[in-house]
Amino acid sequence: MNTHTMTTRRNSSLLQLVPVMLCFFAMGFVDLVGTASNYVQKDLGLSDSQANLFPSLVFFWFLLFSVPTGMLMNKIGRKKTVLISLAVTALSLIIPVFGDSYMIMLASFSFLGIGNAIMQTSLNPLVSNLISSDRLASTLTFGQFVKAIASFLAPIIAAWGATTYLPTFGLGWRALFLIYALVSVLSISILAATPIEEERPDKASGVGECLKLLGRPFILLCFIGIMCHVGIDVGTNTTAPKIIMERLGLPLEEAVLATSVYFIFRTAGCFLGAFILRSMSPRLFFGISVAMMLAAMGILLVCDNLMALYVGIGMIGFGNSNIFSVIFSQALIASPTEKNEVSGLMIMGLFGGTVFPLAMGYAADEIGQAGAVAVMLAGVAYLLYYTFKIKR
């Protein structure tokens, strides 16, 4: 292959990655659920366990839709599946424009969860069509960096909508949904116009064949690891402002900035991780990340100083930023001929975003936010165990 051909293919891959990375940005819209649930809790006077139903509902749909999405990709392809996910996401973000009642928000978060389940299952393996396996982890991490930008912007946009004197069409903090809906429509237009050549699956698969992969010990370990990762992610996203309100008495409009601190550090971690993973072994980097989260949980359990709490929240954001990419890439590499099925299983693991917030909500109702932190600590302990199972 001559130099000109190699350069042309490289430039083509880069052009294809641009719309794919915009889709990663749209993938980050799911993280607005932590910010939104805090505002809904305030507006409707809900308890912690009632408010935590919203993020739990979002991630419940990962349990139902992830594996069927893996099968759908075998029939219609990854790109078309991503386009479907973007359309469902856009619908979910338009619904709150018509109100913020309990039922309207339940409907919005349900469609947001369905759209994101389809997107995360199809978008990650779509990247593997464009990138070689030795750069897959770092590329997925860069995608998570782009996703995190949308995540940390969400509380800032919501706070702006809630406090600005500029017209927001009467939406207040819900202006966030309208802005992200417009970005979803833009993502659909650009990806639809981008040609991507996909590898054809060797065979069609059923639900039973997909679930049977959990019988492989390493795939099961990866599945539980994803559950813990997203549980810590959604848990911190939702609980960080509540910890600050409980211990320092700050109003929600100020306390919600703790969510931005989390996502700023998660964004920075994803950006740096994309480069670090090119030169450091996944096991070593994963271990350092988990140790950082372990120390941070200790800070959140005992500290009542705002700066110390911000440090702990930031450490969780940085430490948790590359967990998903490492686990996901490890699972894909372990089963190279079953990428669609493995992707469906791994994204089904995002169901941890349902399990953890529910448990944290009940624990917080009983003993305060320290109970919620203890639930997340259990997830960190599992990730520490998983560290020693990572292939070098």
d(CA 20, CA 187): 9
d(CA 29, CA 94): 13
Q: How far apart are CA 197 and CA 187, in angstroms?
A: 19
pLDDT for position 10: 46
Could you tell me how many residues make up the chain?
Answer: 392
pTM for this entry? 0.74
* End-to-end alpha carbon distance in the chain: 32
pLDDT tens string, the chain, 392 residues long: the values are 444 443 444 445 667 788 888 999 999 888 788 778 888 888 888 887 788 788 778 878 888 888 888 788 888 888 899 999 999 999 999 998 888 788 898 899 999 999 998 998 888 888 877 776 667 767 877 887 888 888 878 878 887 887 765 555 667 888 889 899 999 999 999 999 888 877 765 455 566 777 788 888 999 999 999 999 999 998 898 889 999 999 988 887 788 788 888 988 988 888 888 788 888 888 999 999 999 999 999 999 998 899 999 999 999 999 998 898 899 888 888 887 777 778 778 888 888 888 888 899 889 888 889 999 999 999 999 999 999 988 76
Q: What pLDDT sits at residue 1?
A: 45
201: left (phi over 0), alpha (psi -120 to 50) or beta: beta
Using the structure block, give the residue that is written with the tokens 């424009």. Answer: 97
Which tens digit of pLDDT belongs to each residue from 153-169? 887 888 788 776 555 56
Give the pLDDT score at 392: 64
Core vs surface per residue 221-239: b (16+ CB within 10 A) or e = bbbbbbbbbbbbbbbbbbb
The pLDDT of residue 167 is 53
pLDDT value of position 391: 74
Find out whether 225 and 386 touch, Cβ atoms under 8 Å.
yes
**44-84 pLDDT, tens digit each:** 888 877 887 887 788 788 888 888 887 888 888 888 999 99
Contact 178, 97 (CB under 8 A): yes
Tokens of 88: 């469902």
Q: Could you please report the per-residue DSSP string of 57-95?
A: HHHHHHHHHHHHHHHHHHHH-HHHHHHHHHHHHHHHHHG
Q: Which residues contact 111 (CB under 8 A, 6 or more apart)?
A: 88, 89, 91, 92, 95
In whole angstroms, what is the distance from residue 356 CA to residue 263 CA?
A: 19
> How many C-beta atoms lie closer than 10 Å to residue 56's C-beta?
26
Token output for 142:
């860069």
The confidence score (pLDDT) of residue 119 equals: 92
